[in-house]
Structure 1
């Protein structure tokens, strides 16, 4: 490109020279100049001279340009030769460096195979791999330890995929060390494997030892950081050299380095700790309780510093919570003292030397003793002497022995209880409880009011006993030990128990044995005995007792507090007699219904055989196999056939109900095609539909499918429902059959637009021999809907009826859809 531009410049320069030599002709271009040359002799001479000069200049310029290019190419060749020599020298030096020790270089470009260079004898069985087998060296698991092979493979994969460099120390399977270094260079992945020297191995061992020591030190540091108490170490100059995380948080420093310049304790506290440590000497660091600001709050610390070889170490344990608990304990003790002061029971505590150490206000009020005397911590014996002198103790003939007996409680192991009856009429319950650390605690409880209340209670109990004794109903109370504690006169009179037996408080077994002479039935008495003596569960009991004289008693056993049981008896003879009469009447009605069913079943079986014969002979007459019939005879034969068929249906319904009642009817389950079943049931009613001028509307989805059921019974259900709907429909009305399917159910609904029925009639239509004939021409024995409900329930379904006067009737039968396994089993 540069040569073309130079030639173009030379041509332009020659043209200019020619134009200048030719005069005015240059304005018309080269063609005009040549044309002018051929016009005349003068013009020819001038033009030739101009051309000669131009050619001379042009050749001179070309020569100069050619010399310049040759000079430049000579310099470029010299530079390339120098660069080639430099590269060859660098290559030689690199090869010398590569071969100076046993090492291998593996280079990857992109995802292609690696290029192996160097001596790989230390890795691959002591032999240098062939140049056409570079992958043999890259089978790291063949010559490295398994764990090191996995680490190196993962590092190489990261280097080639992401350019991540690495440096690893590996061990071969024969125990030698290999150093692996990987790095990315100018779009290539470079792996260097080098066998380490003896000094290098020692350095690696030292480095491993150092790493292990560092890990141990790091673990120790982590352990110390996990301690919630501030820890520190000082150098020989007393400056902080290391602190744990808790110390950093305590001084509110940003990091550990910043915390080294912050002291947790002030100068005075540090001096106290140092002096305490010097005082202890070889015995170890002393612990001082000091206050300091920790994390912005004033806390109480137990500080310990001990001297070590490189300085001192210390720890500060936060005992603020302990001090708080101790203060709370003191406050609790003070609160207990205030509480004891509010108690009505007099409390006095004496130490092991029998001196008074505590008393409450009730104690002072009980004995009316001076406060200065009690605050002087008098002896227990001195208090007793003062109380005897004031005549506030029980009168004793031998006070000295009585006093010694009272003071003997200091040597007792268990608490002692005594009753003191004071001269002023008060009664005291005195408890002397020995303390575990020595000493005694007295509790003086004034029970005078309790004794008065007990007396009143006993009087009230006598009144209640007299009241119960006057009741006409027998009443008895048994204690927790099973003994009779109370029985009124009615109870004793009923069971003929004498006063002597009642006074001995007989056990429940003795009472029951006496009562069984008049009521010999053993079962209720066993229940009564269990209710009275039961320990695990105490619950009320009701039972009935029949006395030999015809009296009937309702017995009730009711648990009372403290394990007692109340037994009450009520005479229910009159109500039992009425109940028996009603029961007898009901039994008679049930026997009548059973007799009716038995009669109907028997008659149905007996009628079926002759009816079958009638139907058979009628079919023969209708087919005219025994002779031709006239029109009237054919009509009569048809009437006989239809009436016989209707009668056979009723008889079959009765027999089906009898089989259902006996539990002998079993369903023959199969895969039933819903559409075919509905159409089959409709075909049996086509004549009745045409005769009654009633339209039929079938609403069946195209994908209604099939389900597992007894096909014969399903057709019978639909036939009965359709017959019932046709019978209650007027001419011109429509009966609708609606079938719907869900994931778990199939519903068959028959809807008519007949007169409907009130609620009280609809509630009975499913009962046997119940027939709704309100305002219709339909007559029947009332078995159709009963058969429908029985068959649907045998399938595990349900029947629902919706009807209202003037709104028609809807009967819906819902069948459960069998699972896939059941459907497959039925199909097989």
Structure 2
């Protein structure tokens, strides 16, 4: 009988010795080894995480699948926070006191989930549970669940690939979710190569998110990068329940274009300020939107009046009050003239000279601009008009002097074109150059002169005249005409490279009267 008890006694002894050995070895094992072996075993908890600081020690299969849905560029703890904080905004605050309190229990925003965290010898044991309400509402069919999962995957891919920055702020103003573009920019702005921490830093550090307004308000903000460069974004904000969603669209190209446009406008403004021509630009509503100082100087207009953006009608009425427009017979005629001015300026190029009672003359030019705007240019041409008048008077006097001479005169330009002739020339050759619409060259005049004489000697002389005229060489000669009159011809160069041709009639010598000859001595 004793032999039958030997085997059980040996088994019990070996077990006792193994237990004693385990108790002796257990205290000397390192803590991470012990913690790594801790596994969740509480009934009903199938989503459990074990964290030692930022390191995930262990997790249930369902918990690991959940963790795979977080941002892939983050470590385990940061990825866990990116999934938990949107549902449990006060999680981080409560976790700071977990070691002291030993237990934290939170309910999510929707009231369908519970988070329970325990402190177990330096290890945070976090379990996610479904509330009774969630269990009551869990009756969802497989097709609806598949559709939701497909939509969730689409939204996740969208947040990963879209170039627009998008992020979510919780009640405390912390970043609780962000798109991949936001994470990339945050990493680019980081001063070192450390892994991003959660909550994520605000990319727009110099801007308080509370300054944004929900709705249509937008702001353009700059981000300073470590290399000293800047990136610009058009930011807007929207409300999603208690959280705020912010979006930032890259605006570097738009900002650079606006800066370039500003510099161009500044250059134009400085240029317009220097030109003596008055400039007035009216928009499509015909309100003055731009003018230069020359406009006030030309018409003695008050800057305050121009700054008030007067209408085109008010602007023209003010000019009329200051007697800076041509006087019309009636106000109705004036209005019709101004309506024509506006209509023709908007449809094409309008130009008119305004002669004032003061003796001044303005050239008004109207030009259409994009988007229905109209630009008016006012140029004081009084000196130009006065000079033109004096020049015309001098031409008229010079022509009168030429017409008073008995010799026939024709002047050819350096290019061989007939430019001037006098009355004696028109009478001699029955040719008035002023009545010709086109230009008359030396070659054409040679043919004309030769066709109007039948005398061989005359044709030879006129041919020599034309040849010397074309070669721009001085020449004198005589051309006998059929009526017995001789032409004393001369080609002479004058100022400006022009050539002057002179035809002087020489009457043939007549026999002296015999009777008068006999009486001459007595008479004398």
TM range (shorter): 0.3 to 0.5
Relative contact order higher in (CA < 8 Å, ≥ 6 apart): 2
More helix by share: 1
Q: State which structure, 1 or 2, has the greater radius of gyration over its C-alpha atoms.
A: 1
